[in-house]
Structure 1
Amino acid sequence: MLMQMQGPVMGGRGGWTVVIVMMMMMMMMTCTVGSLVKVGGANGWNQNVNYTQWSAHQHVYVGDWLYFVFDKRYYNVLEVNKTSYEKCNDKGFITNITRGGRDVYEVKEARPYYFLSSGGYCYHGMRVCVMVQQLPPPPASAPAQNAASYHILMAVNVFSPIFLLSMALVWATSCSL
């Protein structure tokens, strides 16, 4: 006997069960999402902040987002090269990330990133070098006891989600009869 779907999900309690099970399975999947790193911490992007000290205590990884909070009437954020950073030169910048004073910038590769504020504010300390690192590898799991137990664990890891989904679908369709 062929069951028909009603609307976007199955009718009755079974449809919601499938949705909940699917959401739980999606939450169990591991994925990497970058963190939001507020430049300058609580002080934000302002004068008289020691950004060298701030950046020395930060762990910024590829895929993270730098979050600059500042008053756009006075300041801006320019990505520059190392030489321009060292000389507070705002000419020939790489990227102007200034949009509205609450600006984010995704760091996409492991390297030093150099930022400054133009208009002479760089000379008052508004510059930062952020060292971006590769994401550290996940911790190594404990080695399996032997080859047989390794294959059993792999089978459980691969087939558990499939089994759970199948059981949820069977249960959902039987509950909606």
Structure 2
Amino acid sequence: MGRINLWALLMYVTVMMVTEVESSLHRVGGGKYSWTSDVNFSDWSNHERFYTGDWLFFGFDRTRHNILQVNKSSYEQCIDTDYIFNVTRGGRDVFQLLQPKPYYFICGRGYCLNGMKVAVNVLPQPPPSAPITPASTASTVLIPSNAFTIATLSFAFKAFML
């Protein structure tokens, strides 16, 4: 493969990687609320759109509240035993939504009964917009979009050019 064709391939792969969809950080409850009682978190989550890879940010007083990921039944009945995962760490905690499915979170210690619970429905990432395909390219190259891939391709290209 000539140096010019390799350069064109590298540029094409770079364009493919730039079309990557970025994750979003959602402050649970919105801008003016944090993880606290007497807030309608269901109303907030119904007005948000969550995708795989997005993050939830919980800001709260960890001496009074916690965050437990639970199943649907425990969410509906405010049961804080047999939880899936305890998100609580320091009062400014994040949780990444890794799968397209509903996630359920409650505050234990009796606060779930005061409305400290939220359900979020996570959707798959929408497909990225199609990159412009150079006319001279005979086939499409699919490469994962991440910084490691960019660094590896850059290193390989430099090594090949030596």
The alignment's TM-score, normalised by the length of structure 1, stands at 0.64
Cα-to-partner distance string for 1:104-158 (whole Å, 9 max, x where unaligned): 011110000000000110000000000100011234579xxxxxxx762648x99
Structure 1 residues not aligned, in runs of 5+:
1-24, 143-149, 159-164, 170-177
Q: Does 1:32 align with 2:21?
A: yes
Aligned partner (choices 71, 78, 88) of residue 88 of structure 1:
78
After TM superposition, the structure 1 = structure 2 runs for residues 43-122 of structure 1, keeping only pairs within 5 Å, are 43-122=33-112
SS in 1 for 2:127: coil
Match of 1:41?
30
- How many Å separate the matches in 2 of 1:50 and 1:153? 55
Structure 2 residues not aligned, in runs of 5+:
1-13, 142-153
Does the CA contact (< 8 Å) of 2:19 and 2:128 recur in 1? no
- How many Å separate the matches in 1 of 2:107 and 2:134? 57
SS in 2 for 1:109: coil
- How many Å separate the matches in 1 of 2:52 and 2:22? 10
1:29 is matched by which residue type in structure 2? V
Does the C-alpha gap of structure 1 residues 35 and 153 become closer, same or farther in structure 2, counting only changes over 3 Å?
farther
Does the C-alpha gap of structure 1 residues 29 and 48 become closer, same or farther in structure 2, counting only changes over 3 Å?
same
SS in 1 for 2:118: strand
SS in 2 for 1:84: helix
What is the RMSD computed on CA atoms of the aligned residues? 2.6
- How many Å separate the matches in 1 of 2:59 and 2:98? 20
Q: Does 1:152 align with 2:135?
A: yes
Aligned length: 127
Cα-to-partner distance string for 1:45-103 (whole Å, 9 max, x where unaligned): 11111011001001110001111111111000000000000000000000001000100
The alignment's TM-score, normalised by the length of structure 2, stands at 0.70
- How many Å separate the matches in 2 of 1:38 and 1:49? 13
User: Greater Rg, structure 1 or structure 2?
Assistant: 1
SS in 1 for 2:135: helix
Does the C-alpha gap of structure 1 residues 151 and 40 become closer, same or farther in structure 2, counting only changes over 3 Å?
closer
